[in-house]
Chain A
Amino acid sequence: MTLPSRRSALPGFSLTLGITVVWLSLIVLLPLTLLALRPWTLGFAGVWQSVTEPRVLAALRLSFGTAALAAAVNMPLGLLVAWVMVRYRFPLRNLADSLIDMPLALPTAVAGIALTALFAPRGWIGALLLPLGIRVAYTPLGIFVALVFVGLPFMVRTLEPVIMEMPREAEEAAATLGATRRQTLLRVVLPALTPALLAGFGAAFGRGIGEYGSVIFIAGNMPMVSEIAPLLILIRLEQLNYAGAAALALVMLLASFAVLLSLNLLRARMRRRS
């Protein structure tokens, strides 16, 4: 046991570290380790076969694709909201600010049925879109809408502190030097916000890949078309195919860690350059 380099004679180090490590191991580390071990009872070839079935590949493509698309769309949307919230003053601003966290506070099942009710062909929004030939509920488009809903607060909350701390002097200098406002925004503000936009993308994307509750009701869940990867995990569990479920879960975890890691590296490189 390594003793802490104590700055003080404060008590409770062993006790609290003990509680922390034991609880972390029992609740998080041990279960996740067992998850990583479980697929291999199928053998390497079995695992490969299990995660390359056409239905699995379609589900993974759908989950990662819609999550990436929704996170990308949330970049301009989140930028708009964050900019308006930080830079402008207007009535009901505090209320709007609290509202932004709503997708995180609202239980996902509630969000799921609410979005389904809104976007169903006879729903308030669905009925308006139907004459245009746009069907949202029970299609991949519905998954995308649900993921935009869930991802927006991640983008806004990542951008807000960065916009808040951005020195106004750079913008004023650009203006003094004769840049139009549009030039300043594009050449000074946007580059300064790019790392934060990437971070927000990563957070929204990471959440979107594994999202279940808000998606499952509006998705339609047609195999090969609108069946998300987390649902396929549940289906395999119901068939008592534990190893197959674990294999798919492992692929999802590794793929999302890889994406998040590369985004972090990209951000680090951009920060070093600036």
Chain B
Amino acid sequence: MTTPAAQESVATRVVLILLTAALLIILLVLPLVVVLAEAFRKGIPAALATLSDPDSLTSIRLTLTVAAISVPLNTVFGVSAAWCISRFRFPGRGALVTLIELPFSVSPVISGLVWVLLFGINGWLGTFMDRAGLQIIFALPGLVLATVFVTFPFVARTLIPLMQEQDASEEEAAITLGATGWQMFSRVTLPNIRWGLIYGVLLCNARAMGEFGAVAVVSGHIRGQTMTMPLQVEALFNDYDWVGAFTIASLLALLALATLAVKAALEWRLGRRGSMH
């Protein structure tokens, strides 16, 4: 039991809780509310009209496509990285963990820039790509590369600490009893890490679908072709089509809320909290 002198008075506690509530409401709740309010300002039909607009539909499809390519790639990478880092000791292991987290400290704009420097018209491989007729920048491959860069660490950084805590003895037993590597992975490792894996994939996907800066650099903003949902939000907003911009933004906000809800449920299951960035 804490002695009364070692904690704040009831009045202080109430004031601090109210201050926190006020801060969270102004800074975090109001932006969400304003997104929905602006979307439905001219009624539900106007908002729905945005969603049936061909350019908006294309942007939704493109966002889903980019995520559907980027997330599995980084999932395979993340599981591989977690396996070799958590189950083996080798020189450079610590450096590897640090390098995997590197994309988190790079500005989104720079995460897109690196691909333009490589594949853009004035890029290292620009002339070669042009001659070969390969379009990377201002096309789907560029959007995928930029997205893969910014979502690179998510799955790995969720799984590495999780697997380091878990004992390898079940996996060793499986191998000793004659299981192949794949059998061991699918029947022992995967069930043990499944909630952590879903957690990492969830965060990876949220970022992949919501990324703006990096894709803004490589997209070229070709309407109806290379605009993902966040880019479509920008275009509509700059056209003063606020209802349109906030309607697409509402979809992305709902994705964020769903992500937070599933995240909370998974954290309860995992009994731990991970960070989202």
Name A's B-contacting residues (CB within 8 A).
Answer: 2, 4-13, 15-17, 19-21, 23-24, 27-29, 31-32, 34-35, 38, 77, 80-81, 83-85, 87-88, 90, 94, 96-115, 117-118, 123-125, 148-149, 152-154, 157, 168, 171-172, 174-176, 181, 184, 203, 206-207, 209-213, 217, 230-231, 233-234, 237, 240, 242, 245-246, 249, 252-253, 256-257, 260
Q: Which of A85, A113, A212 has the most CB of B within 10 A?
A: A113
Which of B23, B113, B253 makes the CB contact (< 8 A) with A77? B23
Known contacts A217-B237, A234-B216: does B110 contact A81 (CB below 8 Å)?
Answer: no
The chain A residue sitting closest to B122, CB to CB, is A242
In contact, A113 and B105 (Cβ under 8 angstroms): no
CA distance A97 to B116 in the complex (A): 39
In contact, B175 and A9 (Cβ under 8 angstroms): yes
Cβ < 8 Å to A, chain B residues 148-180: 148-149, 152, 168, 171-172, 175-176
In contact, A114 and B89 (Cβ under 8 angstroms): no
Which of A38, A99, A154 makes the CB contact (< 8 A) with B277? A154
Which 6 A-B residue pairings sit nearest by Cβ, starting from the closest?
Answer: A210-B107, A107-B210, A31-B114, A175-B5, A212-B213, A114-B31
Which of A107, A168, A203, A245 makes the CB contact (< 8 A) with B209? A107
In contact, A212 and B277 (Cβ under 8 angstroms): no
Given contacts A213-B230, A253-B107, 6 further A-B contacts (CB under 8 A): A9-B175, A12-B181, A81-B24, A110-B210, A157-B273, A213-B213
Selected A-B contacts with CB under 8 Å, 24 pairs: A2-B91, A8-B175, A13-B87, A23-B77, A24-B96, A31-B149, A35-B113, A81-B23, A84-B16, A100-B28, A104-B276, A106-B252, A108-B210, A109-B231, A110-B230, A114-B249, A125-B26, A172-B6, A212-B107, A217-B237, A234-B109, A234-B217, A242-B123, A256-B105
CA distance A99 to B257 in the complex (A): 9
CA distance A100 to B23 in the complex (A): 11
Which of A81, A110, A152 makes the CB contact (< 8 A) with B253? A110
Q: Which of B27, B116, B145, B168 has the most CB of A within 10 A?
A: B27
Residue B81 is within 8 A (CB to CB) of chain A in the complex: yes
Q: Fill in one digit per residue for B206-235: 1 if any A CB lies within 8 Å of its CB, else 0.
A: 100111110011000000000001110110
In contact, B76 and A94 (Cβ under 8 angstroms): no
In contact, B276 and A153 (Cβ under 8 angstroms): yes
In contact, A181 and B34 (Cβ under 8 angstroms): no
In contact, A80 and B121 (Cβ under 8 angstroms): no
The chain A residue sitting closest to B209, CB to CB, is A107
Residue B44 is within 8 A (CB to CB) of chain A in the complex: no
Which of B26, B88, B213, B263 makes the CB contact (< 8 A) with A230? B213
CA distance A8 to B212 in the complex (A): 44
Residue B83 is within 8 A (CB to CB) of chain A in the complex: yes
In contact, B102 and A168 (Cβ under 8 angstroms): no
In contact, A125 and B30 (Cβ under 8 angstroms): yes
CA distance A231 to B234 in the complex (A): 14
Which of B27, B212, B216 makes the CB contact (< 8 A) with A152? B27
Which of A84, A114, A153, A212 makes the CB contact (< 8 A) with B20? A84
Known contacts A157-B275, A171-B6, A181-B5: does B237 contact A6 (CB below 8 Å)?
Answer: no
In contact, B116 and A213 (Cβ under 8 angstroms): no
| Chain B residue total in the interface (Cβ 8 A) | 106
Name B's A-contacting residues (CB within 8 A).
Answer: 2-3, 5-9, 12-13, 16-17, 19-21, 23-24, 26-32, 34-35, 38, 73, 76-77, 79-81, 83-85, 87-91, 96, 99-100, 102-103, 105-110, 113-118, 120-124, 145, 148-149, 152, 168, 171-172, 175-176, 181, 184-185, 206, 209-213, 216-217, 229-231, 233-234, 237, 242, 245-246, 249, 252-253, 255-257, 259-261, 263-264, 273, 275-277
List the A side residues contacting B77 at CB < 8 Å: 19-20, 23-24
Which of A149, A176, A209, A253 makes the CB contact (< 8 A) with B3? A176
In contact, B110 and A249 (Cβ under 8 angstroms): yes
CA distance A263 to B259 in the complex (A): 32
CA distance A234 to B219 in the complex (A): 12
The chain B residue sitting closest to A145, CB to CB, is B27
List the B side residues contacting A104 at CB < 8 Å: 275-277
